[in-house]
């Protein structure tokens, strides 16, 4: 990835509402170049725009990190279509992927207004996935005093810039 592209992505992650003129000034290139690169990055799917709200202030209490282990001995086929269907019906899921680590091969992150909401979500999941995927959960109290860094990509934007500078 070119330096200009990475700088633009980093600046957009920090604040995607800035004008191309403001971004050009921050990066040190011309406004037409920023506009051209931004459009290309959008078309290529490298950037997408959405706000990251303060979940606790919106009334959400729990973020659940759900780790799953698929039982391939009983169910050799993968159930990606079934997983996609579950996610479509539960719009509070913010991330779902296959992976590996700690004996698990699935991860899901979901946001819940209350423990009752989380409990209902998990009951529905277990009803659909019993015997196919075993799950364990790590719950985060979003309104707790122990939240050191709220969910945000702004610090990661700085990491992107520093990483590129080291190359």
Residues in the chain: 167
Residue 52's pLDDT is what? Answer: 84
165 versus 158: the higher-pLDDT residue is 158
What is the DSSP annotation of 126-161?
HHHHTTTEEEEEEEEETTSTT--S-S-SHHHHHHHH
Residue 28, classified by CB atoms within 10 Å of its CB into exposed (0-12), middle (13-18) or buried (19+), is: exposed
**In this predicted model, what pLDDT tens digit does every residue of 34-50 receive, in sequence order?**
999 999 999 999 998 88
Tell me whether the CATH fold assigned to 3-51+152-166 matches the one assigned to 62-141: no
Element (DSSP H or E) covering residue 97 = strand 93-101
Residue 131's pLDDT is what? Answer: 73
Class of domain 3-51+152-166: mainly alpha
Alpha-helix runs per DSSP H in the chain: 3-14, 20-27, 31-43, 80-89, 115-129, 154-166
Who contacts 84 (Cβ-Cβ below 8 Å, separation ≥6)? none
% of the chain exceeding 70 in pLDDT: 94
What is the DSSP annotation of 55-84?
TTTTT--EEEEEEEEE-TTT--S--HHHHH
Can you tell me the mean pLDDT for 85-98?
Answer: 92
- Mean pLDDT (the chain, rounded): 88
Residue 66's pLDDT is what? Answer: 95
The residues spanned by each domain of the chain are 3-51+152-166, 62-141
Provide the whole-model pTM.
0.79
Say if CB 111 and CB 92 are below 8 A apart: yes
* Architecture of the 62-141 domain: 2-Layer Sandwich (3.30)
Say if CB 132 and CB 74 are below 8 A apart: yes
Can you tell me the mean pLDDT for 11-15?
Answer: 90
- Tokens describing residue 94: 């913010």
Given a cut of 90, whether residue 25 has pLDDT beyond it is: yes
- Tokens describing residue 13: 């992650």
> Of the ranges 10-14, 101-105, 109-113, which is most confident?
109-113
Given a cut of 80, whether residue 142 has pLDDT beyond it is: yes
């Amino acid at each position: 990835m070119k330096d200009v592209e990475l700088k633009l992505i980093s600046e957009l992650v920090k604040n995607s509402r800035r004008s191309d003129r403001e971004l050009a000034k921050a990066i040190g290139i011309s406004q037409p170049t920023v506009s051209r690169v931004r459009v290309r990055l959008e078309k290529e799917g490298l950037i997408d725009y959405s706000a990251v709200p303060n979940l606790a202030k919106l009334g959400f209490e729990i973020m659940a990190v759900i780790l799953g282990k698929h039982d391939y001995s009983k169910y050799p086929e993968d159930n990606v279509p079934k997983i996609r269907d579950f996610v479509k019906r539960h719009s509070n899921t913010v991330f779902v992927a296959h992976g590996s680590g700690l004996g698990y091969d699935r991860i899901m992150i979901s946001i819940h207004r209350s423990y009752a909401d989380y409990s209902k979500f998990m009951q529905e999941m277990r009803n659909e996935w019993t015997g196919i995927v075993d799950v364990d959960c790590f719950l985060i109290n979003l309104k707790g005093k122990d939240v050191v860094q709220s969910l945000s990509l702004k610090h990661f934007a700085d990491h992107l810039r520093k990483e590129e500078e080291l190359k």
